[in-house]
Amino acid sequence: MKIEAKWIDMFVEVFALCGVKPGDACAVLSETQSRPILPQLAELALARLGARCFHLVLPARPLAAPVPVRSTGASDAIGRLDPVVQALAASVFVVDCTIEGLQHAVELPRILQGGARVLAISNEHPEILERCLPRAADEAVVRDAMRRLKSAREMQVGSAAGTDLRIDLAGARIGGVWGFTAKPGSLSHWPGGLVLAFPAAGSVNGTLVLDRGDVNLTFKRYLQDPVRLVIENDHAMQVLGDHVDAEMMRGYFEAWGDPQAYAVSHVGWGLNRGARWDAMTFYDKADFNGTELRAFAGNFLYSTGANEVAGRHTLGHFDLPLRGCTVQLDGEPVVERGRLL
């Protein structure tokens, strides 16, 4: 893929929002199977800003999972290799171009404790990053949503399709992503524009119904038929439906042989009015990682898999953006029938 000058410009713009200054020691982390143009663009942008850049390129690790792993945000690329963790922790700024991202990686807390700012760049075609370019004003929108979520005791989610879910927010960790970070010891990802809660163990109960047109991002697939998940104490105890969408979900869950793969990772809603639900239609699967669909305004995002707050670490993962939901915080709607309020 040819490097375009406009893509260098947008990387410069985002890195400037991250506070990169001349002379800053900046690491570009990637894997041998990362999308090559992303670390290249990162290097060129850092050079234009006058930063001192170095690359850490990790070889592909042996396959350990029983099924394909996609879009977990829990990269195992580092493999607890201590010199890599030390180098990243000692950096001012880390550009994370790993395939899965470091958002839930086991090494992330040590990296952040060193004071590094980490920007995870989703493994997307650069055009997607360009369309979802973060702006300085996005931070205030996400912070406002975070304040609302932090002050709430319970999240209730319902839909005409049959979703009826209750999430106890006591002990939950609240996060928000606006696509850049200038705070030492923090992580953001691009594209951004969503707010999330990582519930404590045993906090999620009810029914989640994925309707036609909702998205299974692990499979990069718009659902053709509804799938009903019965959630008890965080875990999808039943995956109901007599059709291929339900069969594939059941098979993927079962392949892990691990109850943690069935449990909730995070819940939240999308705030990015520039992101599009239909974007997956326009790209080949290899060019699309799907972060945009996690962030489109008014979606309710339900994810299974790794949840550090609940003490769960697994590469088993589903990201499930739902349309048409009403999301309430202590009875006050923040999303109404899929419309961001």
pLDDT of the residue at 239: 97
Strands 117-121, 93-96: pairing kind: parallel
Spell 50-72 as b/e; 16+ CB within 10 A means b: ebebeebebeeeeeeeebebbbb
123, two tokens: 């493994």
Residues in a beta bridge with 319: 303
Domains of the chain as residue ranges with CATH: 5-131 (3.40.50.2300), 138-178+191-340 (no CATH)
Chain centroid offset of residue 227 CA: 22
Query: What 8-state DSSP symbol labels residue 231?
Result: E
Return the amino acid letter for 180.
F
pLDDT of the residue at 86: 98
**End-to-end C-alpha distance for the chain, whole angstroms:** 40
Kindly report the length of the chain: 341
DSSP string, 299-327: -EEEEES-BTTTTB--S--EEEEESSEEE
64-67-72 Cα angle (round to 5) = 80
Q: Distance between CA 41 and CA 39 in Å, rounded? A: 5
Let me know: does 222 contact 288? Beta carbons within 8 Å. no
Q: Distance between CA 282 and CA 125 in Å, rounded? A: 11
In tens digits, the chain (341 residues) has pLDDT values of 999 999 999 999 999 999 999 999 999 999 999 999 999 999 999 999 999 999 999 998 888 889 888 877 778 899 999 999 999 999 999 999 999 999 888 899 999 999 999 999 999 999 999 999 999 999 999 999 999 999 999 999 999 999 999 999 999 999 999 999 999 999 999 999 999 999 999 999 999 999 999 999 999 999 999 999 999 999 999 999 999 999 999 999 999 999 999 999 999 999 999 999 999 999 999 999 999 999 999 999 999 998 989 998 888 899 999 999 999 999 999 999 999 99
Let me know: does 196 contact 173? Beta carbons within 8 Å. no
Query: What 8-state DSSP symbol labels residue 282?
Result: G
Q: Distance between CA 269 and CA 321 in Å, rounded? A: 9
Strands 25-31, 52-58: pairing kind: parallel
Among 297, 142, 269, which residue's Cα sits nearest to residue 197?
269
pLDDT of the residue at 314: 83
Let me know: does 192 contact 295? Beta carbons within 8 Å. yes
Let me know: does 229 contact 207? Beta carbons within 8 Å. yes
Residues in a beta bridge with 157: 165, 327
Q: Distance between CA 197 and CA 166 in Å, rounded? A: 13
Chain centroid offset of residue 143 CA: 17
- Note the helical H segments in 49-186: 82-89, 108-113, 126-131, 138-151
Q: Distance between CA 141 and CA 298 in Å, rounded? A: 13
